[in-house]
Amino acid sequence: MLALKEAFEGHETFFITYDSIRTRQLERKYLLRNIGTNPLVMAQAFMSTVIILLREKPKLIVSTGSEIAIPAFYLAKLLGIKTIFIESWTRVDRPTGTGKIVYPVSDVFLVQWERLLSKYGKKARYEGAIL
């Protein structure tokens, strides 16, 4: 996401991300536990994300994954917040689990390889990649 930060210049931003030595250095952030495939941690992430979104009231959520995007995107749909999902640059042929789950509720859905378009529906677009 930091590789794309130029796109957000002039806008107020905050992060919801996983807690790690790298993310602790971000300026305005909410750090959650790594979800992986643990349903209990996913439920906790939903709770935390509701509180964060109600407090911050963002106009737009942009995500490059991973599972942490799932609560944010579904709650955004309920709260009327716009969403942009950017599938990982590392995904040439295979969609991510998260991508498939958030596809139906994303306002804009971008992939970083043209070939991956065939694995998603009509909404998906290819508009270049980070490198």
Partner 1 sequence: MIFVTVGMHTKGFDRLLKKMDEIAAASDEEVVMQIGHTSFRPQNAKWFDFTTESGIKEWCKKARVVVTQPAMSVLDAQEQGTPVVVVPRLKQYDEVIDDHQLDFARELEKQGKVIAVYDVDKLEEALKQVDLKPLELVKDKRLVNALKKYIAQFEGARRLK
- Check binding of 11 to partner 1 (CB under 8 A): yes
The encoded tokens of residue 41 equal: 């941690």
Q: 39: which 2 tokens? A: 């349903």
> 50: which residues sit within 8 A by CB, 6+ positions away?
71, 75
**Taking CB under 8 A as the rule, does residue 59 contact partner 1?**
yes
Choose which of 49, 63, 98, 112 interacts with partner 1 (CB under 8 A). Answer: 112
- Of the pair 17, 48, the CB lying nearest partner 1 is at 17
34 touching partner 1, by CB under 8 A: yes
Shortest spacing between CB 18 and partner 1, in angstroms: 8
Instruction: Give, rounded to a whole angstrom, the gap between the first and last alpha carbons of the chain.
Output: 13
Q: How far apart are CA 42 and CA 99, in angstroms?
A: 16
- Cα 40 to Cα 14, 37, 56, 68: the distances in Å are 25, 9, 24, 13
Of 31, 42, 50, 60, which one interacts with partner 1 (CB under 8 A)?
A: 60
**28 is written with which tokens?**
């305005």
Indicate whether 86 belongs to the interface with partner 1 (CB under 8 A): yes
In whole angstroms, how close is the CB of 14 to partner 1 at the nearest point?
15
Task: Please report whether residue 28 would count as binding partner 1 according to CB under 8 A.
Answer: no
Contact code string over 87-106 relative to partner 1, x by CB under 8 A: --xxxxxx------------
| Residue 59 backbone dihedrals phi, psi, to 5 degrees | -90, -25
